[in-house]
Amino acid sequence: MKLLKNLSATFAIAAVVLMTGCSNDDDTNNAPNHAPVELGTSGNYVILAKTSIANTPTSAIEGDMGISPAAASFITGFGLTAATGYATSPQISGRIYAADMVAPTSSNLTLAVENMITAYNNAAGRPSPDFIELGTGNLGGKTLTPGLYKWSSSVTMPTDVTISGGPNDVWIFQIAGNLTTSANAKIKLAGGAQAKNIFWQVAGYAIFGTTSHFEGIVMSKTGITFQTGATFNGRALAQTAVILDANRITKP
């Protein structure tokens, strides 16, 4: 009888240890579950702006570019060649669309801009952030895991930043001020993280420093500037203007 009691106690302790170990593993691997921001038709463009797109040659842009309600004359520095309903440029692998081009381009762009604003508001309105005021806005040297991040002021990246997570994980960054990266600062993806699942909602300006590299979907209410030689893997969606200077832009 005593032997049976001892065996029962041993099995009970082992079961508790096993359950505790499993619980800890689940906590470690369980990233916050956030749905991606739905871009609608604004996701058809690698660059989308409302007022102007100004380029200092020579840039290399992969994908389509659009502007609305401004006309094609507000797209400068690309050497556009007009076609029916769109234009082309040796600096752009896709097509360029503007509000004054023939139907259905104008209505398509109107919808894309509406979707861009809806996406911005969706990202800005996500409740219950997982991280608040991380680094007081200085992200230099940090590794960012999946989740919803919120700052009440500006965010800077003076040095490299790593975004680490799986291919289906989502990052949403709510920034009430500006987003700026210093010259040569780079975002690095790790663990299978994908730029298409990284969303930057920026109420102020987004400014990417000389020869810096950035990843993700940037939705700016004020404007997006790529300084000389900056590279970008993502989408630049601006409710005002986008400025480029010999940049390489690739779609995610």
pLDDT per residue as tens digits for the range 132-173: 999 999 999 999 999 999 999 999 999 999 999 999 999 999
Q: Check if the beta carbon of residue 239 is closer than 8 Å to that of residue 52.
A: no
Residue 44: pLDDT band with limits 50, 70, 90: very high
Give phi and psi for 126, each to the nearest 5.
Answer: -60, 130
Residue matched to tokens 């023939």: 102
Nearest alpha-carbon partner for 179 in 143, 215, 127, 147 = 215
- Tens of pLDDT, residues 83-101: 999 999 999 999 999 999 9
| Sign of the dihedral through C-alpha 57, 94, 37, 125 | positive
| Confidence label for 8 from pLDDT (cuts 50, 70 and 90) | very low
Q: What is the pLDDT of residue 4?
A: 41
Give the integer Cα–Cα distance in Å for 56 and 122: 33
The model's pLDDT over 161-210, given as tens digits with 9 standing for 90+, comes to: 999 999 999 999 999 999 999 999 999 999 999 999 999 999 999 999 99
pLDDT at 32: 81
Residue pLDDT, tens place only, 230-239: 999 999 999 9
Residue 2 CB neighbours (<10 A): 6
Task: Identify the CA nearest to 248 among candidates 49, 62, 46.
Answer: 62
The pair of three-digit structure tokens given for residue 211, joined into one six-digit string: 């020869």
SS3 54: strand
| 98 beta partners | 67
Tell me what the pLDDT averaged over the chain comes to.
Answer: 91
Q: What percent of the chain has pLDDT above 70? A: 88
> What pLDDT sits at residue 110?
98
- Residue 33 — very low, low, confident or very high, per pLDDT cuts 50/70/90? confident
